[in-house]
Amino acid sequence: MPYQRIKFYQTGSFAAGNRLLPADLRSVQSSATRANTLTCGHRACQGCGEALGARYALDAVMRATKGKLIAVNATGCLEVFSTPFPETSWQIAWLHSLFGNAPAVATGVAAALKAMGRGDIRVVGQGGDGGTVDIGMACLSGMFERNDDVLYICYDNQAYMNTGVQRSGATPPAARTATTPAAGPEPGNTFGQGKNVPLIAMAHEIPYVATATVADLRDLEYKATRAMDFHGARYLHILVPCPLGWGSSPADTIKVARLAVESALFPVFEAEAGEVVSATPIRRQVPVTDYLRLQARYAHLFRPEERTDVIARIQASADRNVSRFGLLQDHHPERKQPTLNAHASPEGR
């Protein structure tokens, strides 16, 4: 029987996932030989955004560095659920020191590698928002200021989740936490507080800063890979919903992350040397309520009565992000393809 050529119109597109793409366009996760840096058996909650984000990010960095990676982890959910004594889920060289010093310890590792002539091995420092935004801020800023050769990844679930959901400097306004309860005339976290660490990182004018979420795997992998094109201090801020702390359904983790982006509450962008170089556009901005309704930490904004005043303030901050980052503009940034050459020496930095 003669062969009939069948045309697959989806070939070369993402529509069929990775299977029909050329190898070099497939996601890291699609590879059977991916590093699986954070392998199974860890104790994360069902639907944990951080476990997902860490695996995605580090597998991408492992591919970019051809496996030559050392990771330094701050105390927090990721560290605790990944290394319940006597087991570890990490398939890479991994060090946990303290809560507030992950950036400094990572700096030490990088300095040692340089002193020993092993600049081919790259270093990632990572922690949750608590260890990054609050107690780790001095060390983080020091690392940025010295331009130490470390990629720091912050997994932002917007509170101290490991210790029982206490407020951090990354907790958004009006969100309920154990230390910002939904009570009184201004329930939840206070408006007018909080730090925007990606902007702080940009103020240090470090080579590369980017934000990402677990809703867009490819974007996250791209940014982790792109970060390894640079040498010097780099910062990646990943939004990772926490079903337990946010009061969202474990099945909704990726959906909630997507709504955070599409409502403009979490702008997704890249910056180099302190200037925004690309921002992911929103095709259709969704009202913040679509995002807020899915999380019990905002339940007090809807019951017993809808707090339209508070919601309006949250909407205003989202709209501010739209104008600040040009999220609704019709621009198609020329995205630099990562070179996958992350182990090269930092000449001409």
Partner 1 sequence: MLKQIEGSRAVAETVAMCRPQVICAYPITPQTHIVEALGAMVKKGELNAEFLNVESEFAAMSVAIGAEAAGARAYTATASQGLLYMSEAVYNAAGLGLPVVMTVANRAIGAPINIWNDHSDAMSQRDAGWIQLYAETNQEAADLHIQAFRIAEELSNPVMVCMDGFLLTHASERVDIPAQTQVDAFLPPYEPRQVLDPDDPVSIGAMVGPEAFTEVRYLAFERMRRVLDVIPAAEADFGAEFGRGSGGLVKPYRTDDADLIVVALGSVLGTVKDAIDELRDDGVRAGVLGITTFRPFPAQAVCDALGDDNRLRRLVVLERSLAPGAGGVVTADVRTALATGDGGPRGPIIATVIAGLGGRPVTRDSLRRMLTTATRGELPAFSFLDLDTHLAETELARIRATRRSGPSAENILRDLAGRS
Residues making contact with partner 1 (CB under 8 A) = 67-70, 72-73, 79-80, 83-86, 88, 90-98, 100-101, 104-116, 121, 138-139, 141-142, 145-146, 148
Smallest distance, Å, CB 125 to partner 1?
9
Q: 50 or 262, CB closer to partner 1?
A: 50
Q: 144 or 222, CB closer to partner 1?
A: 144
Element (H, E) at 122: strand 122-128
Smallest distance, Å, CB 87 to partner 1?
8
Q: 29 or 83, CB closer to partner 1?
A: 83
Q: 83 or 196, CB closer to partner 1?
A: 83
d(CA 187, CA 168): 16
Smallest distance, Å, CB 163 to partner 1?
13
d(CA 115, CA 48): 38
The token pair that represents 337 in the structure block? 């393809």
Smallest distance, Å, CB 69 to partner 1?
6
Q: 162 or 189, CB closer to partner 1?
A: 162
Smallest distance, Å, CB 150 to partner 1?
10
Smallest distance, Å, CB 228 to partner 1?
14
C-alpha torsion angle, residues 298, 52, 30, 121 (rounded to 10): 140
Smallest distance, Å, CB 55 to partner 1?
15
Please name the residue ranges forming H helices in 116-232.
Answer: 129, 137-146, 197-203, 217-227
Phi first, then psi: what are they for 150, rounded to 5°?
Answer: -140, 140
d(CA 158, CA 143): 22
Instruction: Give residue for tokens 């984000």.
Output: 53
164: left (phi over 0), alpha (psi -120 to 50) or beta: left
Long-range Cβ contacts of 168-173 (<8 Å, 24+ apart)? 168/129, 168/130, 168/133, 168/134, 169/129, 169/133, 169/134, 169/137, 169/193, 169/194, 169/195, 170/129, 170/130, 170/132, 170/133, 170/194, 170/195, 170/197, 172/265, 172/314, 173/313, 173/314, 173/317
d(CA 218, CA 231): 22
d(CA 121, CA 141): 23
Instruction: Give residue for tokens 């103020």.
Output: 203
Instruction: Give residue for tokens 């409502």.
Output: 263
Smallest distance, Å, CB 322 to partner 1?
35
